[in-house]
């Protein structure tokens, strides 16, 4: 009899637990289903009907729906259907984040990182990103890895950076794969491993990530840890350049200019420098300026050279600053102006450009007393505006 009672009790308990488990599963399914008005809002948003989307989402957000709160916050941030208001965006995104909604936690972390709608705070940024990263949000994992890599808001740790990059990389986050490859290549957070470095870089590069393509090219061109292969370097630069990546376009130009890994071709070099320069790439502007000075692959044109030197020099390119000084001293491509020449030589000297200090001092000795005062004043102004500490 006792045995029969025990069996009945056990059966009842199993039935109860099964019912509870089934109920929990059903509740989870119900919870996972988005509100019908939220879904309608998404449809309207995709059709650029932002007013309807907001009309549907705002009441839900006020009722505490985290997905709607997040979307309303995004709309204030992106200026979709209403005024741009970063503070209001932060208010709604924070509400969703506090409900443990991972996309909102990621966005809030990034807002604290950049000081958008909230006062910049690396620690708060790291805290929110960590919450989202633990929920397997790969963008949060990527940004958090960067914080650990540089020690922003957290104690610097290559191991933790490597861990979070790897978590995101396994979920096909391309920039994380690129960063993970570089960490293996440099031995940061991992034992240095060329095979794994190439594996992760190629994974991202083959998926079209231009940064990974450039890093592979650099690795095959300049890294003494890997067997150099100039053909592979050229091919990876070409892939990135075909995606309109300005850095890769300039690098291709340099390879054609020097004949490094490819047959020397000044016209092709000029073409790629021009493409990079049109995107305001400072190396591209500088190289294009040099091409115009010497007539490499194009007709000699000092005016265009000076225009390109200006673009690069004003962004802190030391050699462009030096060449601009020469242009103002000689009057090639511009009106001669020894005071401006001195100012540009002065900034180039601060950037440790070869012979800039010597040239600056020699020119200063030749200046009349009145121009010396003007030159010092202008040089101080130029250094404040155009010197970039490397």
In this predicted structure, what is the pLDDT of residue 313?
Answer: 98
Contact status, residue 121 vs residue 128, Cβ threshold 8 Å: no
Contact status, residue 378 vs residue 347, Cβ threshold 8 Å: no
> Burial, 32: exposed, middle or buried (Cβ in 10 Å; 0-12, 13-18, 19+)?
exposed
Residue-wise pLDDT for 191-208, tens only, equals 999 999 999 999 999 999
Residue-wise pLDDT for 110-163, tens only, equals 999 999 999 999 999 999 999 999 999 999 999 999 999 999 989 999 999 999
Angle at 66 between CA 141 and CA 58, to 5 degrees: 130
Give the pTM. 0.84
Distance set, CA 104 to CA 48, 69, 160 (Å): 22, 9, 23
Domains, the chain, ranges and CATH? Answer: 33-134 (1.25.40.10)
Q: Which residues, 6+ apart, have CB-to-CB distance to 222 below 8 Å?
A: 228
Query: What DSSP element (H or E) covers 181?
Result: helix 174-186
Residue-wise pLDDT for 231-284, tens only, equals 999 999 999 999 999 999 999 999 999 999 999 999 999 999 999 999 999 999
Across 59-69, average pLDDT = 96
* Banded model confidence at residue 186, pLDDT cuts 50, 70, 90: very high
């Amino acid at each position: 009899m006792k045995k029969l009672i025990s069996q009945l009790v056990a059966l009842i308990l199993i039935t109860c637990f099964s019912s509870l488990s089934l109920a929990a599963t059903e509740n989870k399914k119900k919870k996972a289903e988005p509100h019908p008005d939220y879904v309608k809002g998404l449809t309207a948003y995709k059709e650029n009907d932002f007013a309807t989307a907001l009309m549907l989402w705002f009441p839900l957000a006020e009722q505490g729906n985290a997905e709607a709160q997040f979307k309303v916050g995004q709309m204030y941030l992106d200026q979709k259907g209403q005024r741009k208001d970063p503070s209001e965006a932060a208010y709604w995104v924070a509400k969703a984040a506090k409900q443990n909604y991972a996309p909102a936690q990621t966005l809030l972390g990034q807002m604290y990182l950049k000081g958008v709608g909230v006062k910049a705070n690396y620690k708060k940024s790291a805290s929110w990103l960590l919450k989202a990263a633990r929920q397997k949000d790969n963008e949060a994992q990527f940004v958090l890895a960067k914080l650990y890599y540089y020690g922003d808001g957290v104690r610097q740790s290559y191991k933790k950076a490597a861990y979070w990059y790897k978590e995101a990389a396994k979920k096909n986050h391309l920039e994380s794969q690129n960063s993970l490859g570089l960490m293996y290549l440099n031995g940061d957070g991992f034992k240095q491993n060329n095979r794994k470095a190439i594996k992760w870089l190629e994974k991202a590069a083959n998926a079209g990530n231009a940064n990974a393509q450039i890093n592979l090219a650099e690795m095959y061109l300049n890294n003494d840890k890997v067997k150099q292969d100039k053909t592979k370097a050229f091919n990876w630069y070409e892939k990135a350049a075909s995606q309109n990546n300005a850095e890769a376009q300039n690098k291709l130009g340099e390879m054609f200019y020097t004949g490094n890994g490819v047959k020397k071709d000044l016209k092709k070099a000029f073409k790629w420098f021009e493409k990079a320069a049109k995107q305001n790439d400072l190396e591209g502007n500088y190289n294009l300026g040099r091409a115009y000075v010497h007539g490499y692959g194009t007709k000699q044109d000092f005016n265009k050279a000076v225009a390109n030197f200006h673009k690069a020099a004003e962004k802190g390119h030391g050699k462009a600053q030096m060449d601009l000084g020469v242009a103002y001293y000689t009057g090639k491509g511009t009106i001669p102006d020894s005071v401006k020449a001195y100012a540009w030589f002065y900034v180039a000297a601060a950037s440790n450009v070869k012979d800039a200090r010597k040239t600056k001092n020699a020119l200063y000795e030749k200046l009349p007393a009145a121009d010396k005062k003007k030159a010092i004043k202008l040089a101080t102004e130029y250094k404040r505006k155009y010197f970039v500490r490397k």
